[in-house]
Amino acid sequence: MKPLAVTAFTTTTAVGQGNAALIGALMAERSGLRPNDFTQHPLETFIGRVANVEAVRLPSHLAPWDCRNNRLALLGLESDGFIAAVEAARHRYGADRIALVIGTSTSSIGATEEAYARLTPEGHFPDDLCRPEVHTPHSLGVFLSRALDLRGPCVTVSTACSSSAKVFAQAERLLRLGIADAAIVGGVDTLCGSVLFGFNSLELVSKEPCRPFDPTRNGISLGEAAGFALLEREGAADSDAWLIGHGESSDAHHMSSPHPEGLGAELALRDALARAQRAPEAVDYINLHGTGSQKNDEVEGALIARVFPVSPATSATTHAAPALAAPALAASSTKGFTGHTLGAAGIVEAVICLLAMKHGFRPGTLNARSIDPDCGPHVRLHGEHAPVRVAVNESFGFGGNNCVLVFADRAAP
Amino acid sequence: MSACLEVRVRGIGFWAPRLPDWQTACAVLAGRAEPEAVARSRPTPALLAPTERRRAPDTVSIALEAASRACEAAGVDPVSLPSVFACTHGDGAINDYLCGTLASNPLLCSPTRFHNSVHNAAAGYWTIGTGCVKPSTALTAGSETFAAGLLEAIVQALADETPVLYVAYDAAMPGPVGEVSPSAGMIASALVVEPLKGHGPGVRPAGVGRCLRARVAPGAQAMPEASVSPGSIPHAWFAALPANSMRQCLPLLALLASDAEGRMQMQLNQGCVLEVDIEEVTTHG
């Protein structure tokens, strides 16, 4: 496919607001996870909670959309010059030529949960929450469209944990067919009772900070995040960050557990590399889905071991001194830093790939004490400084919904 | 204004309690039949395993029913189709249950209902039931959901030169949330669209059919209260259908059901519309 320039990007997670906080935490191996202080009913787990979301105040024209998710969306927009970049694009192309394709799994359901917790004695929503704007999942899309004053196609993609990866693919098609000249993609998901107690009911939540790919991993830590990227066509923009491939697939297997052989994940990965016109050998860094659940990490580790060849440099860094590290493939899960941010995981980890290229740094797998040998030779415990020219991001969701993205520091192979 | 996007409609599926298939819906629109007197309860798609048929959310049941009928009408194997699932609200009954349970005793939350609460539940059950490993997406755009999903289905068909399944549906919003964010009854519609020109696998090279020519254009700056006014839905259907959020799909389906050529606009966002011309086309391979 024709690459698209990523001309602006930002993310806000539990490790802090904006890209500098994130790359700083990745390099310092500092986690944003903390004991659960979010739910009223106690639940023993660790969460990636973003500080100061409660303090965000929406401007009056956006007041009907007020809820935790849209507050986090606004907090997320206000970093890394993102709003200024959108304004420049609006001047360049016109507000009706910029598409907004945004991902979320639960959107503003937290506001609906709150209304049920505070029903009137007659069983109705309290007055302050009688706002249809927040009790429907497109709340996020409309809110962002109003906040950024956009007039192009506007859609909320909700395919669970692949949502904000799939937005890149959808936006690329809109630009390819000339329906828009630029696209704002991204995702926002906030902590809420539904996901904390829902994943708990599936026995997928760890009582400790998640440790992906560790032989003793025992579940996920949930988190919240917002992230955005601005995509423009090659030629329209000079950039050192490019979306060069995407691949999507379905497992056709089970609603809440991955295909045991990673069938769908492999289809998405191979399709993404084919569209990117890159061989597996060209990839320097993979940000894995790596949730910390037994099954996901086992299946994903086996997939990576199967698709990506083991070079002498890989075995050197795995079995001998890290000082020998050559730019062989490194893979990691960063969910020990941010928690699993569900519908925002795609954009957060896409931004991590872009930061890995920009800073020449490949993050490690925080909280894991060792890497499960069953998960293959590529998964790295610790981060390292090394050039990253091509980076891959994997996102897999409930319903067997898979999406893989490929980024590069230049458009040409 | 964007480039013109041309697709052929290869098959249509429809389900509502008193118009339980597309043939009935067309006959009622043409005045050849009356809507069924007694509203049916939800369909039980054969795609679901027997245990899942009872437990499946309403949104999943109706989406799979319409999707299956559209594939049959199109004469295509579902296994070959990427799919786009569009639903305004997600499953209201599950959200009502989850929010109610969280407010009383969150530890009693049902794991099955939780994983069925994802917006892509119907897409997931569809791909599992048909064994389809092609990409599948699930989206919403509020009162513009039908238009946004149609645009994505057309775009996928043209971008990857493939027939695409498009399913649009909503069920009722029960309980307290339904008082604030209302939707009644159930409506599901499905289209199989394919590129008008193109030679990709599975694309029918020649024949007669209904064609959609779509473009994205600047439109009304202010969003209408609802993108579909009662006046834009034929009376025969309006009287037979519940006040469901997916009434959005009816003006386009009414044009497809009649033999007439026509043009319509659907809002995509403030200041932006999807303009659709419907024509009869004959293509030569």
pLDDT digits (tens, 9 = 90+) for B191-214: 999 998 765 555 555 555 789 999
Please indicate whether residue B207 or residue A17 has the higher confidence score (pLDDT). Answer: A17
Q: How confident is the model at residue A314 (pLDDT cuts 50, 70, 90)?
A: low
Chain A contacts in chain B segment 56-115 (CB below 8 A): 88-90, 95, 98-100, 102-103, 105-107, 109-111, 114-115
Q: Establish whether A161 is a catalytic residue.
A: yes
In this model, does residue A199 exceed pLDDT 50?
Answer: yes
Category of B186 on φ-ψ map: left (φ > 0), alpha (ψ -120 to 50) or beta: beta
Least confident of A84-98, A302-316, A317-331: A317-331
In this model, does residue A407 exceed pLDDT 50?
Answer: yes
> What pLDDT is recorded for position A177?
97
Instruction: Please give the residue of chain B at the shortest CA–CA distance from A252.
Output: B128
> What pLDDT is recorded for position B94?
98
In this model, does residue A325 exceed pLDDT 90?
Answer: no
> What pLDDT is recorded for position B222?
61
Do the Cβ atoms of B2 and A154 come within 8 Å?
no
Pick the closest to residue A294 from A373, A380, A218 (CA basis): A218
Chain A contacts in chain B segment 119-148 (CB below 8 A): 119-121, 123-125, 127-128, 130-142, 144-145, 148
Query: What is the ipTM for the molecules in this complex?
Result: 0.96
Least confident of A9-13, A126-130, A324-328, B93-97: A324-328
Instruction: Please give the residue of chain A at the shortest CA–CA distance from B127.
Output: A252
In this model, does residue A55 exceed pLDDT 90?
Answer: yes
Stretches in chain B below the pLDDT threshold 70: 1, 198-208, 221-231, 283-285
Q: Which of B64, B132, B180 to probe the A interface (max A CBs under 10 A)?
A: B180
CATH class as words, domain A4-408: alpha beta
- Average pLDDT on A148-154 reads 97
Q: How confident is the model at residue A323 (pLDDT cuts 50, 70, 90)?
A: very low
Q: Give the active site residue among A67, A154, A161, A210.
A: A161
Residue B196 one-letter amino acid = L
**B-chain residues within 8 Å CB-CB of A295?**
none
Q: Establish whether A289 is a catalytic residue.
A: yes
> What pLDDT is recorded for position A14?
98
In this model, does residue A322 exceed pLDDT 60?
Answer: no
Domain boundaries, chain A: 4-408
> What pLDDT is recorded for position A235?
82
Do the Cβ atoms of B216 and A124 come within 8 Å?
no
**pTM assigned to the model:** 0.96
**A-chain residues within 8 Å CB-CB of B88?**
136, 138
In this model, does residue A315 exceed pLDDT 60?
Answer: no
Chain A contacts in chain B segment 1-60 (CB below 8 A): 2-3, 5
Q: How confident is the model at residue A238 (pLDDT cuts 50, 70, 90)?
A: confident
Q: Which of A65, A114, A138, A149 to probe the B interface (max B CBs under 10 A)?
A: A138
Do the Cβ atoms of B99 and A116 come within 8 Å?
yes
Domain boundaries, chain B: 10-205
For B134, which of A156, A196, A250 is closest by C-beta distance?
A250
Q: Establish whether A259 is a catalytic residue.
A: no
B10-205 CATH pick, 3.40.50.970, 2.120.10.30, 3.40.50.300, 3.40.47.10: 3.40.47.10
